[in-house]
Structure formats: C-alpha cells, structure tokens
Amino acid sequence: MLLESRTAIVTGASRGIGRAIAKKFSSEGANVTINYNNSLQDASSLLKEIEGNGGRGILVKGNVSRIEDVRQIVKDTMSTWGRIDILVNNAGIHYAVDLFEHSEEMWDETIDVNLKGTYLCSKEVAPIMLRQQKGKIINISSNSGMYHPSAMRFAEYVSSKAGVNGLTKALALRLGPYVNVNAICPGAIQTDMNAFRDSEAIKALIEETPLKRLGVVEDVANAALFLASDLSDFITGELMLVTGGRGMHQ
C-alpha cells in the first residue's frame, strides 16, 4: 500500500488515463477525488468500481479552466478528507485537425484546459501542500510537447503541452523543498481521446517504438504511482517519458 491514507485529486478522471490512475491510486490505499466535467455516468461507474473494491472516493464536477470550479474541487476534497497529498493534472482536450482547419476557439479551449487548468489546480493546492510540508503534483503532458517530430502534427496541442512542461519546472523550483512537481509525457497510448483506428498509422507508430507496441493506460498509471509515492522523494522538475522508447533520440 504505497499511498495508504493519502488523499489524491485526479482531474479528468472519468475516462482513459485519469480513470486508470484513480483506480491504481485507490488500490494502493489512497482516498481519491474523482473530478469530471461532462461524463457523470463514467465517473459514477468509476466510483462504484472503487468502492466495490474496498476503496474510498468522492465525485466532484468541475471545469479546470474555471477558477471557481477549481476552488470547489479543492474545497470538497478538504471538507471530506482534511488534506491533499497528491494532485494529478490529467484533464485535457485534443482537436485532431490540421492547422488550417483549426479555429481560434479551438486554440483558446485547448490552452485553457490543458495549460491554464494545470496552472489553476496547482496554484490552488500548493498552499495546502506547503502547510503540510509534503505534497506531490503530477502533470500529464505528452511527448509531443518535447518536440518529437512525428508527434508534432497538431499545433495547439503541442503548444499546450510544451507549456505544461515549462510550468512543471517552474513549479518544481518555486515549491521546493516540500512539494515535488513532475510531468509524465506519454507517447502513443490507446485511449478514447487518442484512438488509433488506421492500421497503417498503428504500424508506423509501432515501427518507431523500440518496445514494438502501443502503450496502454496502465503504463501511465504505474508511472504516476511511482511519482506519487515516497519512492520518488528525491525527484522533482522531471519530464518522464512513457513512450516505449519512441523519441528517445531527441
């Protein structure tokens, strides 16, 4: 039980990577705040699954790009559990369209959720973690934010994740020595948001990957567990690639 009696907020936890992280943390003893924005049914099924396995969790609806929603997520977590030990900034959106098909509204929403949301949530929990003199912030970024050429097809997404990577390092510097801040940069992971249906595209991705497979959400959840636990206490400001080796030459 690496996270026994600790409390974690996982944003965008109803599906995909966030769901896998919430389940993993719960299985290791954490109390989990399951944040969702639109997918109440998915979030409710996750809570039911966690509780069915003997875990503890609460649901909190909220758009992480809105400060009033972020404050409510933090308030509900504190009123329920009394502390916040771990924040996973996972909530994100991705419009898989070409630069010239992309609108200003798409750009704004992507930056607001992916980058501003990470900033708002981190800034809101940081004073609590500093008072506790202990805390872990884990940002879910992407290898596309690290300038891997074949991952850089979508300008707004790349820009948001490159921003998250820079923010991770800035927060790590400002919040030390008590709060560790790291980012996970997944590669090609099979999720609802990142659905790989084109067999030729899958073949190309696997060819670029030394471990010769696509990633699964559990691969990212395992990395998040390491960063959330005491095993990573001397690690901060790092960008952890979870890519099966894809892009390591960069």
Catalytic (active-site) positions = 157
Nearest 10 degrees: Cα torsion 59, 32, 182, 207 = -80
Vertex 117 angle, CA 115 and 123, to 5°: 105
**Residue 188 near residue 246, CB atoms below 8 Å:** yes
CA 236 to centroid of chain Cα atoms: 16
**Residue 164 near residue 145, CB atoms below 8 Å:** yes
CA distance 94 to 88: 18
**Residue 81 near residue 3, CB atoms below 8 Å:** no
**Residue 180 near residue 231, CB atoms below 8 Å:** no
Which residues touch 248 (CB under 8 Å, ≥6 apart)? 210, 241
User: Helices (DSSP H) in the chain: which residue ranges?
Assistant: 16-27, 40-52, 67-81, 104-111, 117-132, 155-175, 199-208, 217-228
